[in-house]
Amino acid sequence: MNWKIAAALCMAALCMMLAVPAQAAKRVALVIGNNDYRNVPKLQKAVNDARTMGDTLKQLGFSVMVAENQTRQAFSQTLLAFDKAVEPGDTAFFFYAGHGFEIAGQNFLLPTDVPAATEGQEELVRDSSVLADRIIERLQNKKARTAILVFDACRNNPFERAGTRAVAGGGGLAPMTQLPEGVFSVFSAGPRQTALDRLSNDDANPNSVFTRIFARELTQPGVNLVQVAQRTRRLVSESAETVRHKQVPVYFDQMVDDVFLNGAAKSDPPPAVAAKPAEPAQQVAALTQVQRIAPQNDSVNAPIAAFSRHNGGWTVVFSIADPTLGISWRLGDAGQFRETGFIDTLDPRTRKRMPNPSIELTADQPAATIQVRYVDASGETQGPFPIRFDPEAALLRDQRKILDMTATSWLSFRDFNGLLVYYTHLMSYRCAIREARIGIDSAMPDKVLKMPPCDPRDPSAIPHDANPYLKLAPTTRSVSVELTYRDGSVSEIKTFRR
pLDDT of 155 reads 61
Which of 111-120, 167-176, 204-213 has the lowest average pLDDT? 167-176
Reported pTM: 0.52
Beta strands in 348-428 (DSSP E): 352-355, 358-362, 368-376, 381-389, 412-415, 419-422
Q: pLDDT tens for residues 277-317? A: 333 333 333 333 455 554 444 444 678 888 998 888 999 99
Q: Which residue has the higher pLDDT, 84 or 263?
A: 84
pLDDT of 41 reads 87
Q: Which residue has the higher pLDDT, 373 or 173?
A: 373
Is residue 156 very low, low, confident or very high in pLDDT (cuts 50, 70, 90)? low
Asked if residue 370 lies in contact with residue 316, where contact means CB atoms within 8 angstroms, the answer is yes
High-pLDDT (> 70) share of the chain, %? 81
pLDDT of 65 reads 94
Which of 137-151, 168-182, 419-433, 463-477 has the lowest average pLDDT? 168-182
pLDDT of 177 reads 59
Q: Does residue 168 have a pLDDT over 70?
A: no
Q: Which residue has the higher pLDDT, 187 or 159?
A: 187
Question: Measuring CA to CA, how many Å separate 110 from each of 34, 70, 129, 138, 402?
Answer: 8, 9, 5, 18, 21
Average pLDDT in the 436-455 region? 90
Tell me what the pLDDT averaged over the chain comes to.
82
pLDDT of 115 reads 85
Q: Does residue 146 have a pLDDT over 70?
A: yes
High-pLDDT (> 90) share of the chain, %? 42
Q: Does residue 338 have a pLDDT over 90?
A: yes
Q: Which residue has the higher pLDDT, 127 or 409?
A: 409
pLDDT of 470 reads 92
Average pLDDT in the 165-171 region? 41
Return the DSSP state at 232. H
Q: pLDDT tens for residues 357-380? A: 999 999 999 999 999 999 988 888
The rounded distance, in Å, linking the Cα atoms of 66 and 48 is: 11
Q: Does residue 489 have a pLDDT over 80?
A: no
pLDDT of 228 reads 94
pLDDT of 161 reads 46
pLDDT of 276 reads 38
Nearest Cα neighbor of 31 from 113, 153, 126, 125 is 153
Q: pLDDT tens for residues 459-476? A: 988 998 898 999 999 999
Q: Does residue 19 have a pLDDT over 50?
A: no
> Cβ contacts of residue 482 below 8 Å, gap of 6+?
436, 437, 438, 445, 490, 491, 492, 493, 494
pLDDT of 476 reads 94
Q: pLDDT tens for residues 38-76? A: 888 899 899 999 999 999 999 999 999 999 999 988 998
Torsion sign, CA atoms 354, 355, 357, 363:
positive
